[in-house]
Amino acid sequence: MVIAFSGWNDAGEGATGAVNHLMNVWSDLSPKILPVLIADVDPEEFYDFQVNRPRVFTDETSTRSITWPTTKIYGLSLASLDRDLVVVVGEEPSMRWKSFTQEILDLADDLEVSMVVTVGSLLADIPHSRPISVGITAANPTTADRFNVEISNYEGPTGILGVIHDECLRRKIDGVSLWAPVPHYASGAPSPKVSLALIHALEDLLAISIPQDELESASDAWESEIDDLAREDSDVADYVKALEESKDALDIPEVSGEMIAKEFERYLRRKSKD
């Protein structure tokens, strides 16, 4: 089960952008792979409509309708996996988080989900011009060892994703968290470079190949646009340069070597599908 919510957990729409890409990118393949709606959450129970307001739309026949904030659960069957994906995407609920989490994970139990992967993005002091490093953690030491990821040591305020991982621990479901940083000076949505970094992290974690040509192009265009903005403002340019120097100083050769190895593994997976 792959989960992303808009709102507090989704700076620059990096997380929801990644999950929406995951669901939609297969539609151009032959045969097409389309997500199947399994269930949606009753918004009346979990959303404050003054915070997450419903939206009014008018279709081509001038018929008006209202779309309510909600969370939807999709099924996605991929030939490259020995199991199906369950994708959960929506707006972070406003209230009754415990009941909301139990509803989502009750469905996970019914669908025999063996692993939950949450996807988030957050603002950070990083340069837009360098590779974006995704933090991959697990709250359970056994899970961390199994998937060769770090143990989460975060303490502080949390969103719905933290509550979901707490319930995963109680139910003994493997839970892994992916978090990507978004340059705070370039936090306008969408942030395709952030979404692309999260897609790469999903590829590595699940050992699959995910098509991403359009996302790569959007990422390059986003970076070029921020370059242009920085060139127009000397203060921003100086700040970005300082962030780049700090980032480069931290990227030791061992880390760079690991990144090259992961990229080569992704390349081999894509070649095996050709």
List of domains in the chain: 2-273 (3.40.50.10900)
pTM: 0.88
pLDDT at 29: 76
The answer to whether residues 130 and 247 touch, using CB atoms and an 8 Å cutoff, is yes
Query: 213: buried, middle or exposed (CB in 10 Å: 19+, 13-18, 0-12)?
Result: exposed
Q: Note down pLDDT in tens along the chain; length 274 residues.
A: 999 999 999 999 999 999 999 999 988 776 788 899 999 999 999 999 999 999 999 988 889 999 999 999 999 998 777 889 999 999 999 999 999 999 999 999 999 999 999 999 999 999 999 999 999 999 899 999 999 999 998 889 999 999 999 999 999 999 999 999 999 999 888 999 999 999 999 999 998 889 887 999 999 999 999 999 889 989 989 999 999 988 888 766 555 556 656 665 655 666 565 5
Q: Rounded to an integer, what distance in angstroms lies between the CA atom of residue 118 and that of residue 162? A: 9
The answer to whether residues 124 and 182 touch, using CB atoms and an 8 Å cutoff, is yes
SS3 per-residue string spanning 69-88:
CCEEEEEECCCCCCCCEEEE
Pairing between β-strand 115-124 and β-strand 85-91 as defined by DSSP bridges? unpaired
Q: Rounded to an integer, what distance in angstroms lies between the CA atom of residue 45 and that of residue 32? A: 35
Q: Rounded to an integer, what distance in angstroms lies between the CA atom of residue 110 and that of residue 68? A: 26
C-alpha gyration radius of the chain: 19
